[in-house]
Amino acid sequence: MWFRARETDLEMDRPPSPPTPDCAGSGGIDRTVASLNIEHYRRLLSEEQDEAKRRVIHRLLAEEEARLAALDKPPEAPDDER
């Protein structure tokens, strides 16, 4: 299931807080959106014949692939090694 109730809301017998996605805070939503966009752009490329539109789709695809790669890259360590 995509959403789960917060345990504190259930324990305190009050209406639940707005649901939070299971992947919240991990960049999971951003990864999912990027992956779905990439899939969509690839499908558009397979169907589109107009070269001007294909160039735009190629650019959008490259941007989304770069976005996904950046999300998958581990965070850099701070430069506090002095």
Q: In this predicted structure, what is the pLDDT of residue 76?
A: 75
Which residues of the chain fall short of a pLDDT of 50?
1-10, 12, 19-24
- High-pLDDT (> 90) share of the chain, %: 51
Q: pTM, whole model, 2 decimals?
A: 0.60
Write the DSSP symbol of residue 41.
H
Q: What are phi and psi of 4, to 5 degrees?
A: -135, 150
In the chain, what are the domain boundaries? 23-70
